Amino acid sequence: MKKNIDANKKLWTWRSSLIDHVRLLVRLPTLLLVPFILTPDEVETVQLAVASSNSCNLSKVWHEHMQHISGVEVTGQKEMFKIYGRHFGISDGTSVSVEDLYHSLEYSNSVFVAKAAEAVAHQQMWLDLLGNTILAFMRGTIKCSKREEQSLAFEILFFIYYSSIYLLLVFMASLLQYVPTDSVIAYNTISIITTLFSIIYIVPYGFLGVLMLPIYIFSGKEANPLPSRQDYSSIDEEIPGTFTIDLVKPKQDTKVGMRFGSNSAGCVMITHIKPQTIASNSDLAVGDVVFSINGRSLVNVSPKLAARILLNSSGVVTIVASHTDASIFDEEATV
């Protein structure tokens, strides 16, 4: 049987779709004010970062054209928006690092900017998971290649409810190539029209989620999307198989919650991660080999020196690492 790539992407379930619609519902007033709070490049920077974590085909085409319309160019000044969006996309907006980054945006800009960035991140996650869930049904379930954890009843009802706006968004995406480029007015007009159309579908779904919320709370059942089962893609081109993680370390003396050791090859690796810490809320795992911290190579560096480098870092700390099955290590250093 042909592998269903779309079913391996992050998908909504009954519970996660209802909860996410409630989260978006309460942010709709802010979403309508976004054109008056954020610039087009700030909006695109956040949404591109979220979309990069969810691999939605519709979002890829949509933003390819919207970037040209807005003239977006990610610079150092917009880096915090990019990092916020990336963490939001990876954790569905629920991790400690997302909350820390939200407060960083609030501190460095304003509470209105932070709330607007949060609203557009939720909107982008809605578009990503809408597209992924629809395509998983069309290209997978209908062809007898359904993801085993998914509910068939949910997929059918979700498709019936959302297929019309999905097709409308696909049609609109095909027309974006004809819109003038570097036009703030055109960008904001398209954004407002898209938001108004989506509200027609989000509000009823969101209210259904509000009605179901007490049941989820008292049942204690999880309401997370089905996670992506796609392989890690190489982000560091010089070291194949690596991925990049941005940790938020508010102060120098803030504990990250992990221990470094070295494997038989002498590489720095993670030997322990403490629960409920900065490290535990990232994609890092025990056994990962760490190649660099904030651009500083850890090749031929002892675990103690690597720990000192991380201890002396603060703010957004970028770590390049690689998943391995290694378990042999000697000296250790906690950070």
198 in any annotated domain: yes
Same domain? 289 vs 204: no
pLDDT of 235:
38
Please check whether residue 237 lies inside any domain of the structure: no
Per-residue pLDDT band for 268 (boundaries 50, 70, 90) equals: confident
CA atoms within 13 A on the CB side of 138: 13
Domain span at residue 256 reads 243-334
Using the CB atoms, write b or e for 271-308: b if 16+ within 10 Å: bebeeeebbbbbebeebbbbbbbeeeebeebebeebbe
Q: What pLDDT digit, counting tens, does each position of 148-158 carry?
A: 888 999 999 99
149 and 285 belong to one structural domain: no
Q: Is residue 215 located within the same domain as residue 247? A: no
104 and 170 assigned to the same domain: yes
Roughly how many angstroms between the first and final C-alpha of the chain, as a whole number? Answer: 47
Specify whether 17 is located in the same domain as 159. Answer: yes
With respect to residue 180, please indicate whether it lies within any of the assigned structural domains: yes
Same structural domain for residues 62 and 204? yes
Tell me the per-residue pLDDT of 63-112, one tens digit each, with 9 for 90 and over: 888 988 877 665 555 778 888 888 898 888 887 778 888 988 888 889 99
pLDDT in tens, 25-59: 999 999 999 999 999 989 999 998 899 888 888 89
Assess whether 155 and 249 both reside in one domain.
Answer: no
Residue 116 in this model has a pLDDT that exceeds 90: yes
User: What does the pLDDT average to over 266-274?
Assistant: 86
Q: Are residues 299 and 255 in the same domain?
A: yes
Looking at 219, 253, 283, the residue that finishes a domain is: 219
- Asked if 253 and 175 sit in the same domain, the reply is no
Residues 182-193 pLDDT 10s: 888 999 999 999
Residues 12 and 69 reside in one and the same domain = yes
Is it the case that residue 328 has pLDDT exceeding 50?
Answer: no
Residues 22-54: b if buried by 16+ CB within 10 A, e if exposed: bbbbebbebbeebbebbebbbbbbbbbbbbbbb
* Residue 253: pLDDT over 60: yes
Choose the weakest-confidence range: 66-70, 98-102, 169-173, 293-297.
293-297
pLDDT on residue 75: 55
Confidence of residue 237 (pLDDT cuts 50, 70, 90): very low
DSSP assignment letter at 292: E
Q: Is-contact 248 265, C-beta < 8 A?
A: no
Angle, CA 245 vertex, CA 71 and CA 129 arms, to 5°: 60
Q: Rounded to an integer, what distance in angstroms lies between the CA atom of residue 295 and that of residue 318?
A: 7
Q: Is the pTM of this model over 0.85?
A: no
Asked whether residue 193 is assigned to any structural domain, the reply reads yes
% the chain with pLDDT above 70: 85
Question: Whole-angstrom Cα distance, residue 150 to residue 133?
Answer: 10
Q: Is 86 contained in some domain?
A: yes
CATH of the domain at 318: 2.30.42.10
Per-residue pLDDT at 134 exceeds 80: yes
Q: What is the DSSP letter of 225?
A: P
278 domain residue, yes or no: yes
Residue 130 covered by a domain: yes
Q: Both 190 and 301 in a single domain?
A: no
Tell whether 186 and 153 lie within a shared domain: yes
- Last residue of some domain: 168, 187, 219? 219
pLDDT at 218: 65
Indicate the number of domains in the chain. 2
Q: What is the mean pLDDT of residues 213-236?
A: 61
- pLDDT-derived band of residue 243, with 50, 70 and 90 as boundaries? confident
pLDDT the model gives residue 332: 54
Q: How many CB atoms are closer than 10 A to CB 322?
A: 20
* Buried b / exposed e along 168-205 (16+ C-beta atoms within 10 A): ebeeebeebeeeeeebeebbbebbeebbeebbebbeeb
